[in-house]
Amino acid sequence: MDVAPDGLIWGPKRAVFVRRTLVLGALTFLFFLIPSVMIARSGDLFPLSNVLMPLVLTLILAMDDFNRWRQVRSERWEITEGKLIHDGVDGRAMIPLSEIAAVKQRFGTAVVIRLYSGQRIMMRYLADPARIAQQLNRAIAPDRA
Q: Dump pLDDT digits (tens) for 68-115.
A: 899 899 999 998 888 999 998 888 999 999 999 999 998 788 999 999
pLDDT band at 46 (very low <50, low <70, confident <90, very high): low
Between residues 8 and 145, the one the model is more confident about: 8
Count of beta carbons in the 10 Å neighbourhood of residue 110:
19
The helix/strand/coil state of 92 is: strand
Which amino acid, one-letter code, is at 58? T
pLDDT at residue number 47 = 67
**pLDDT tens for each residue of 49-64:** 777 888 888 999 899 9
